[in-house]
Structure 1
Amino acid sequence: MEQTFLGPVIQKLAELLAEEANLLKGVHKEAGSLKDDLEIIQPFLKDAEAKLEKGELGDASKVWIKQLREKADHIEDVVDEYIHHLRTKICRPEHGFVHFVRKTCHFAKSIKPRHDIASEIQDIKGSLREIKERGQSFGLRPFEQGSSGKKTTNVDASTGLRLGSLYIKEDDLVGIDSKSKELISSLVEGPSTRVVTSLVGEGGIGKTTLAKKVYDDDEIKRHFDCRAWVTVSQSYNVEKILKIMKSQICHGIEKTLRDNGSTIEELIDLLRDCLETKRYVVVFDDVWERDFWEVIKHAFPTKNKADRIIITTRNASISNSIKETPFDIVHELKPLSSELVWELFCKKAFPFEPETQCPKELDHLSHEIIQKCNGLPLVIVAIAGLLSTKEKIEFEWRQVLDNLNYEFENNPQLTSVSTIIFFSYHDLPYHLKSCFLYFGMLPEDYSIFDQRLYRLWIAEGFIESRRGKTLEKVAQEYLNELINRNLVSCHTRFGFQRRCQVHDLMRDFILARVDELCFSQILDKGKARFKGKSRRLSVYNTTKDALEILRGSEIRSIIFNNVDELTESFAISLFKNFKLLKLLDFQGAPMHNIPKEVGNLFHLKYLSLHGTKVKFLPKSIGNLYNLQTLNLCNTLVEEIPKEINKLRNLQRLLAQRYSHEIECSLNSYGSVRIHEGIRCLEDLLTLTFVEANDDGVDFVKELGKLTKLETFGIGKVTAAMGKELGTSIGNMNHLEELFINSIREEETLDFNCILSPPCSLRFLSLRCRLEVFPNWISMLQNLTGLSLRFTRLIDEPLKHLKDLPNLAFIRLYQAYDGEELHFEEGGFRKLKEVLLGKLEGLKVVKIDRGTLPVLENFQVEACLLMQEIPSNIKHLQNLKSLIIKDMPREFVAGLQPNGGPHYSKIKHVPSVSIQYKYGEWTKFQSYKLGEPDLLQRLQ
């Protein structure tokens, strides 16, 4: 039967019962009886939740659910405390007379806790009996699977889930071409004065989609000297917005202000200086307040260079108030016509049908369903995404229509948007509902890396274990299903890096459900957003008064988002007073020390210090028996205490540091020292970056015991370790991502000793001297990305790579000392991105006609002997971006549109950027082809 919020509690009791050898008979009996009671109550709860989602539940029944939830939370706390008590006893490794004395004393002390839990469980059972009886008096009945009339979708990856996107992709756009052409024309051909164009319309009508299509148009890129895109949203910060504008507009200006020291006035002055001589287009997406424009408009100088500003808003009064001159334009977006609605619906609902056509037997039902959508693209995409998961039979689709009709008839206050989103949510299996609601823990318009999301979901207990699959793989399937249903959008790079977020309308819906279900709490600027108790907390902006507000609560998970300060005293109080915490995410918080009191958090599963200023970990970190994830990325931690080896449940240890200031150096990636004994952490799935320490070969041998690793990164490797490291890597049969950095650039490593490379490897990064290309790389059939830096190969590497069937990304930086690279015909069928940097002997790049059919991005940097761009680049019709960095004057001059002999080769490329490094840091000034400043520099 599908799970409810009682599921994790039942599982918790099962864990307690598994401690059979350490339980008194009375405790075992009472715990087993309580588990049985919860399993009996769960069908009644399922019935209540189904009626709640249909709006059939009265206030008294809602209180019943709330009371049951609170009782479930209490059971979880009681069991966790008792398991802690048992584990503390088990973990004491003493022997002899001292052991006998301690054991005798401990037994005397433990009789009371064991008796207490049995007594407490009896009290809980009495309360549950009363709750069950009240539920029956409210008309609740055991819920039978399938009685809701909907089919639960299998989330297994083998079903070949289609990865959709809430933000409609360009090839899915309908009816937008004429609108975009009209808008582009007004931007390019309008008056010489500054013009503000407002796109107005209700949520989900496609304002952002239209603005983004126009913003990314080739004609716009060519016409304007600089562009900026800023998402404003409801909770905007003027200073942050100005800094975002500065980063997009003023890059390349050496006289810049430090981010942390700029006032609003200074930022406005800087932007005015940058824009004074440039023709610009700036988009402000999702504006909610007129006050925003009253401040931000001062950043734009008044001049006659045909500058353009685009604003998207739901509020027509804002667009009218912004219209300050006769030239300013207000575009009111209208719903799609019936013909365009049908076209979009069919594309999303029938992606695998011939020409995405609707089967005849579903034609009538489909038209009835889309009549509910009011012509809103977001709503059409949401309902079509839901229908795409259903069987293409009339019975299934009739149920969808009947349920929609029921919602509209019984909830007249619902709009089509909220109804469709509600219905899409209602159709989710229980485990996916929790995952979807979790986006409410994140700030508005926040985009999160999928790997971080997986780790959070796992720590929360949302991910069900499946035989033969890691929890990360199951979490990936969950996310794919949410994307497939068009509830979550994502952007993918290199075939495996994904950033995910939800539309603001989806987030509005999520927050309403979060409040109703007491799923989580948001503390924004020191004030609680919702009423009622919750187990999860998201802290925004400040920790002021947070402890006072939290006092007496039962919080188990806390995420800190953009907090302005986080003192050591705050952390100590948090660790002392909330000992049942299982998740703490301090990512990016201004935190300089992690107090030893963190060792109090026995139940902690997830601890992230990512991006903090923490330098040292206390030895008490070894007390975190249940810790599964420890994230130290981009902290100042250089050494992990040996107590880490006590954490036998640890699965993910992330500790890499990356410095943009030394990006082109071997030292740009930092690693941490870890002590002997790491072989004890046999459940590790992720380990990045560890330092090949003073133990050298012995330490590398230990790594070979970590056979479950999927992601592994190691730094400061020496030649003497090469053979043992190769053997250890050969033992990592599940490895998907591998990163190896040598101790110094001149250290030559030999990896041909890897006789059985992990066949599951998807990404490989080698930052070391090789000279000889490792033969086994050409055997990696699943390889998606390859990065070779400082390898100084003598042999041409591309001939070893051309037949890899899934290779999508190649980076070669100081990787090859030869004179010619050759992309041979018939190879590189899926390659989308190529980066060539500082190949000091390279003179010629050959691209055979017909190769690189899907290449989108090509970058060449500081290859000083190259005289010209490859001739056949003109045949790469999918090429979208060409970046030329620090290349010789003759090379760049030959690409200029007015007389450049090689301009014809690249004139089809939508975006061509010429960049030169400036200042002390690795920053680049960017120029367009034919730009006067660039031509002057080339003289």
Structure 2
Amino acid sequence: MKKNEIISLVSDEDVHQFRVISLWGMGGIGKTTLVRDIYQSEVLSGTFEERACVTVMRPFNCDELLKSLTMQFRDKVATTDITRYLGGKRYLLVLDDVLSTSEWDAIIKHLPKATTGCIIVTTREENIAKHCSEDERSMYNLKNLNHDDALTLLTKKVFKETIDLEKQYPELVEQAEMILRKCNGLPLAIVTIGGFLANQPKKALEWRKLNEHISAELETNPELETIRSVLMRSYDGLPYHLKSCFLYMPIFPEDQRVGRGRLVRRWTAEGYSREVRGKSMEEIADGYFMELLSRSMLLPSQGSIHSIKGIDYCQVHDLMREIGISKSMEENLVFILEKGCSSNSQATMRHLTISNSWVGDQNEFESTVDLSRVRSITCFGKWRPFFISERITLLRVLDLENTGDLADHHLKHIWNLLHLRYLSLRGCEDIYHLPESLGNLRELQTLDVRGTRINKLPKSIVNLQKLNNLCAGMKTMNEGISYEEFEGEGGVTSYKSCTWPLSLFNNSRLGRCAHGEYGLSSHDACTPISCLLIPATAMRLDMYGVLVPRGMRKLKGLRTLGIVNIARRGKDILQDIKGLTWLRKLGVTGVNKENGQELNSAIVGMRRLESLSVRSEGDPGLSGCLDGDYSLSGRSICTETWSNCQNGSKGSRIW
């Protein structure tokens, strides 16, 4: 338990030095409650000659804060004498809610360090905690409560005692679970909502009303005002550029993990970042991501074992998301098209989210949404052809990841979206083909077609001079590298071959297509055979990667490229890749003895490369394909390591 651990650290008389202990975490996590419990602990009552506990008030006034400290000392002293007075004394000070490094710097210069004093600081930001405590062992990140502890806290607050809810009130269990999901382990939210429910009838209907109208309750219910005010302080403390990034989050559904790369690339496409002093726009946007994590505005979600950056996915606390939705609606940013919705701000809506709960028709869509001002469209449901029309002229982001019922012929209007910077068809398994008109999208920065059936990219892709990220690779169901793994950051990964699942060609959907159930032409019905099976068989291709045209070296801005099939025309392709000197992440498949040395040669010159995924086809895997010593981003990789990796385990990492 952190409380006992910190008390032990604070009261350790064997340590004769000044120390600062920092506690950080999102608003409402319980920092203030914890430090006050520690401060009032009987264990510490006789340990220090002087003690004081203050909350840093806003607007910040250092003189007023120091005056509040000195008023709590046994011998009242002037604020100008605080350094001399505490010198040589064993003292404990608690500074609750420090919001900036400048506040800390202003305070600490008045406090003596050549002493056995101890200061406990609470803050919402990790970087402030690090600034205050130079020793990371004196930093504590307060986490959300686990489910069992959260349920115990809720029932204790509602029923004034710990009870077995499932036995005594089984009809409340479902609604209690919904409340806990929304609170997501945040003690302040659990205590406040529990206190409100304590005065309500213990009926499932009453609890359901709260769950269904939590947004309105947060804004209008005085008993829940504490939650809103605490969470709003976190939002209000954001600089302008981070507010824009945070208000983007309501685009994504409740409880959904959002990929780091997806978010950063979308922010970049929206113009939320710009190149600064040699740092790319994506690097700046990635810094924004990490800063929002540091401020606990985003919650980390571990997503990939292949990540060296540690965090591939994030979520927004449900109640914090409600704040985001409220502020986003005020500023007419995000509109969520869902069941039962209506819009009063069509003209100024910038971001359209289409929920999977919306089942309206074209007339309802056009009467609700004005597409002429929309900058981004994100679809989480099934595709309708009228979602994209000629009326869309300003669209920068089109995110159709995992959209259902999307076929090639639905994309005809997309190739005319001249301002498009981000296009994702990821996970759309009925997409087989990209036309030459793709080359019209001259502003495109990110093209993500992972998890589709595309095995060949059009020649016109070399015209996309602003392309930074090209992510491709068909979805496989058996062993070997998966397209999801290419999302992870860093390291070098080698994989053995895998075969395309026959189940693809036994899919009953193909039979239904032929009979016109999906309104497809005979050409569409034959697509799986003509676009996948026949070409791949004839060319003896590994059906995981994609073929790229000659001339890829023209795409000088590429940072991410994969998964490229080099089994055919491997030397020509690798000569093009060799010219992509800004590559940070590369994935190739179809590696064999004939092209292995060319791959080695291409890699040697890639001084900026951070991540490499390599995949072979058939036996003997990569054995003998990558012989020789070479350096990759400061890491030396030898022949033996590659061989052992392939002769031993699949998916091994090379560092």
Distance in 2 separating the partners of 1:150 and 1:580:
45
- The DSSP-based 3-state class of the residue aligned with 1:621 is helix
Q: Which residue of 2 aligns with 1:535?
A: 350
Q: Which residue of 2 aligns with 1:773?
A: 641
Contact 2:570 2:595 in 1 (8 A): yes
Q: Which residue of 1 aligns with 2:373?
A: 554
- The DSSP-based 3-state class of the residue aligned with 1:732 is coil
1:198-217 matches, within 5 Å, as: 208-209=184-185
Q: Which residue of 2 aligns with 1:778?
A: none
Change (3 A) 1:538 1:208: closer
Q: Which residue of 2 aligns with 1:516?
A: 330
1:232-271 matches, within 5 Å, as: none
Instruction: Give the superposition deviation at 1:481.
Output: 1.6
Q: Which residue of 1 aligns with 2:18?
A: none
Instruction: Give the superposition deviation at 1:603.
Output: 0.9
Contact 1:200 1:315 in 2 (8 A): no
Distance in 2 separating the partners of 1:429 and 1:166:
24
Change (3 A) 1:165 1:550: farther
Q: Which amino acid aligns with 2:377?
A: I
1:173-188 matches, within 5 Å, as: 186=164
Q: Which residue of 2 aligns with 1:618?
A: 435
Change (3 A) 1:321 1:592: same
Contact 1:522 1:529 in 2 (8 A): no
The answer to whether residue 203 in structure 2 is matched with residue 320 in structure 1 is: yes
Unaligned runs of 5+ in 2: 1-58, 60-99, 106-122, 208-217, 482-496, 501-542
Instruction: Give the superposition deviation at 1:684.
Output: 0.4
Instruction: Give the superposition deviation at 1:740.
Output: 0.5
Question: Which residue of the other structure, out of 517, 523, 546, is the alignment partner of 1:672?
Answer: 546
The percent identity for this pair of structures is: 27
Aligned length: 443
The answer to whether residue 474 in structure 2 is matched with residue 600 in structure 1 is: no
Q: Which residue of 1 aligns with 2:245?
A: 435
Q: Which residue of 2 aligns with 1:738?
A: 612
- The DSSP-based 3-state class of the residue aligned with 1:589 is coil
The answer to whether residue 564 in structure 2 is matched with residue 690 in structure 1 is: yes
Question: Which residue of the other structure, out of 470, 473, 476, is the alignment partner of 1:659?
Answer: 476
Cα deviations across residues 427-479 of structure 1 (Å, max 9, x unaligned)? 11100001111111111222111111111111111123222323332222212
Contact 2:590 2:617 in 1 (8 A): yes
Distance in 1 separating the partners of 2:571 and 2:140:
47
1:401-800 matches, within 5 Å, as: 415-492=225-302, 493-494=304-305, 495=308, 496-525=310-339, 527-532=341-346, 533-541=348-356, 542=358, 544-545=361-362, 546-551=365-370, 553-561=372-380, 563-567=381-385, 570=386, 574-590=388-404, 591-593=406-408, 594-612=410-428, 613-662=430-479, 666-667=498-499, 670-747=544-621, 748-759=623-634, 772-774=640-642, 791-793=646-648
Instruction: Give the superposition deviation at 1:548.
Output: 4.3
Distance in 1 separating the partners of 2:234 and 2:317:
14
Unaligned runs of 5+ in 1: 1-53, 55-145, 212-284, 289-310, 324-329, 331-378, 380-406, 765-769, 776-787, 794-811, 817-827, 832-939
Contact 1:596 1:620 in 2 (8 A): no
Instruction: Give the superposition deviation at 1:166.
Output: 8.6
Distance in 2 separating the partners of 1:559 and 1:178:
36
Distance in 2 separating the partners of 1:412 and 1:456:
37
Contact 2:300 2:311 in 1 (8 A): no
Structure 2 length-normalised TM: 0.58
- The DSSP-based 3-state class of the residue aligned with 1:559 is strand
Q: Which amino acid aligns with 2:620?
A: E
Change (3 A) 1:415 1:704: same
Q: Which residue of 2 aligns with 1:218?
A: none
- The DSSP-based 3-state class of the residue aligned with 2:640 is coil
Structure 1 length-normalised TM: 0.41
- The DSSP-based 3-state class of the residue aligned with 1:538 is strand
Instruction: Give the superposition deviation at 1:660.
Output: 2.8
Q: Which amino acid aligns with 1:744?
A: G
Q: Which amino acid aligns with 1:666?
A: C
Q: Which residue of 2 aligns with 1:352?
A: none
Contact 1:666 1:745 in 2 (8 A): no
- The DSSP-based 3-state class of the residue aligned with 2:248 is helix
Cα deviations across residues 172-200 of structure 1 (Å, max 9, x unaligned)? x89979999x9999599x79x98975785
Cα deviations across residues 102-141 of structure 1 (Å, max 9, x unaligned)? xxxxxxxxxxxxxxxxxxxxxxxxxxxxxxxxxxxxxxxx
Change (3 A) 1:560 1:174: closer
Contact 1:521 1:530 in 2 (8 A): no
Distance in 1 separating the partners of 2:197 and 2:628:
62
Change (3 A) 1:750 1:521: same
Instruction: Give the superposition deviation at 1:750.
Output: 3.6
Q: Which amino acid aligns with 2:236?
A: H
1:9-24 matches, within 5 Å, as: none
The answer to whether residue 650 in structure 2 is matched with residue 813 in structure 1 is: yes
Distance in 1 separating the partners of 2:128 and 2:279:
13
- The DSSP-based 3-state class of the residue aligned with 1:415 is helix
Cα deviations across residues 398-442 of structure 1 (Å, max 9, x unaligned)? xxxxxxxxx99xx98981111122221111110000111111111
Distance in 1 separating the partners of 2:566 and 2:198:
58
Q: Which amino acid aligns with 2:626?
A: F
Contact 1:604 1:624 in 2 (8 A): yes
- The DSSP-based 3-state class of the residue aligned with 1:610 is coil
Contact 2:126 2:295 in 1 (8 A): no
Contact 1:730 1:754 in 2 (8 A): no
Q: Which residue of 1 aligns with 2:7?
A: none
1:277-356 matches, within 5 Å, as: 320-321=203-204
1:819-898 matches, within 5 Å, as: none
Q: Which amino acid aligns with 1:209?
A: G
Contact 1:641 1:675 in 2 (8 A): yes
Distance in 2 separating the partners of 1:690 and 1:167:
41
Contact 2:565 2:589 in 1 (8 A): yes
Change (3 A) 1:472 1:167: farther
Cα deviations across residues 825-852 of structure 1 (Å, max 9, x unaligned)? xxx9xx9xxxxxxxxxxxxxxxxxxxxx
Q: Which amino acid aligns with 2:291?
A: E
Cα deviations across residues 719-774 of structure 1 (Å, max 9, x unaligned)? 1111111121122212222110112232434434352212389xx9xxxxx98324
Instruction: Give the superposition deviation at 1:577.
Output: 1.9
Q: Which amino acid aligns with 1:515?
A: M
Contact 1:707 1:731 in 2 (8 A): yes
Contact 2:626 2:639 in 1 (8 A): no
